[in-house]
Amino acid sequence: MKFEKRILVTGGAGFIGSHVVRLLVRKYPHYQIVNFDKLTYAGNLENLKDVDTAENYSFFKGDIVTASDVKEVFEQFNITDVIHLAAESHVDRSIEGPMDFVMTNVVGTVNLLQQAKASWKEEKEHVFHHVSTDEVYGSLTDEGYFTEQTSYDPRSPYSASKASSDHFVSAYHHTYGLPVKMSNCSNNYGSHHFPEKLIPLMIHNIVQKKPLPVYGKGENVRDWLWVEDHARAIDVIFHNGKVGESYNVGGLNEWTNIDLVRYLCRLMDRKLNRAEGESEELITYVTDRKGHDLRYAIDATKLETELGWKPSITFEEGLENTVDWYLANNDWVEKVTSGTYRTYYSKMYENR
Ligand code: NAD
Ligand code: TYD
């Protein structure tokens, strides 16, 4: 079969990447979706069991840091477009060890840009969509929102590496005319989220009746978006966004960490038939994260007005849907965190 586009999705076995792959494989049978992933601790082919036999889906195990892997996949599939999600993504890990973040997020991104530049002769026919984070903008006080005009001010090794990758993407557009698009999204939540980030970790620990580690006083604010709405935004920006531009993605849905954890506790007490207030007793305030950004909040007006995107569900609906998924898929959690299944599961997280 001759595919209209052959899209390389990097990091397609990860949390957001797997939702992007699922959406594209189902919605566009005339596109070939090539999932390129190193399968680090965060990448898992279990995430794609429901689409991995589709005719328009292929998997290529490779490392974006290894230029020969990137060249091979471009040549083997005659790649026409890239949606780049592969990254080291956890702030706490970046504080413990920044070098993996420099290698994958910066060097890996530049390898992909180099290969796209070498392979693509006619820029109009291609798109390199770089998926990034709102954390590149730094930290807000109580007021205001991040817009596409906000100056970059990354403050963690993770956000510094993502900001650097964004600058390289922009530079390849300005210098070489590479047809790039960028998106910067707020915190995602949903199914298939590795249980080291706040929401899946708390769900897991509530089920297990383990302590719920809240950093500092729990007053930091995050702006949460359902992962499937992020995947829909990527679809819209990839197809209809303007070349050379970036789009902020977010759901105007701010929560302090402590309010969010308490809400989850109450929701899960009901789901698990526990006495009201039982899970809240598990909340444990722990030492704050170093350099902990106070508040993130996205203004997604550009995406909404120019491209007609808006979130499809409320946070309350999305969170209930997410909790139901974790309760029905405890075997997934066991598999992705168990020493026999994973080649690597950081000691850092074993006791939390
Ligand atoms: P994730 O950690 O769940 O998944 C990352 C994926 O990349 C994994 O499948 C992993 O195996 C793969 N990978 C890592 N290093 C690789 C390498 N060197 N070569 C090939 N593959 C490699 O991450 P996520 O939360 O799904 O985030 C995906 C992207 O979205 C990242 O670029 C992240 O910065 C961005 N983002 C995430 C969020 C969020 O809330 N999670 C918000 C905004 C933007
Ligand atoms: P996280 O899910 O790691 O995302 P990010 O740091 O990229 O925003 O953390 C979300 C918020 O929750 C952040 O303010 C840190 C806090 N947090 C805790 O309080 N306890 C935890 O165990 C984790 C993982 C995060």
Q: Is the pLDDT confidence value at 349 over 50?
A: no
Q: Which two tokens stand for residue 334?
A: 């066991």
Q: Which domain holds residue 39?
A: 5-189+226-250+294-312+339-349
Candidate list 63, 134, 223, 254, residue with the active-site label: 134
User: Under DSSP, is residue 296 helix (H, G, I), strand (E, B) or coil?
Assistant: coil
Number of domains in the chain: 1
**Spatial separation of the C-alpha atoms in residues 237 and 248, rounded to whole Å:** 10
**What phi, psi does 150 have (nearest 5°)?**
-60, 135
Establish if 152 belongs to a structural domain.
Answer: yes
**Spatial separation of the C-alpha atoms in residues 248 and 181, rounded to whole Å:** 12
Average of pLDDT values for 300-319?
97
pLDDT in tens, 216-267: 999 999 999 999 999 999 999 999 999 999 999 998 999 999 999 999 999 9
pTM of this prediction?
A: 0.97
**Spatial separation of the C-alpha atoms in residues 325 and 346, rounded to whole Å:** 24
pLDDT in tens, 20-37: 999 999 999 999 999 999
Establish if 154 belongs to a structural domain.
Answer: yes
> Residue 54 maps to which CATH number?
3.40.50.720
Assess whether the C-beta atom of 94 lies below 6 angstroms from ligand 1: no
Mean pLDDT of the chain: 95
Report yes or no: 21 and 51 within 8 Å, Cβ to Cβ. yes
**Spatial separation of the C-alpha atoms in residues 129 and 295, rounded to whole Å:** 26
94 CA → ligand 2 middle, Å = 13
134 catalytically annotated: yes
pLDDT in tens, 87-97: 999 999 999 99
Establish if 210 belongs to a structural domain.
Answer: no
Establish if 319 belongs to a structural domain.
Answer: no
Establish if 101 belongs to a structural domain.
Answer: yes
Ligand 2 atom closest to the Cα of residue 202 is 22
Establish if 122 belongs to a structural domain.
Answer: yes
pLDDT in tens, 134-174: 999 999 999 999 999 999 999 999 999 999 999 999 999 99
Establish if 9 belongs to a structural domain.
Answer: yes
Establish if 245 belongs to a structural domain.
Answer: yes
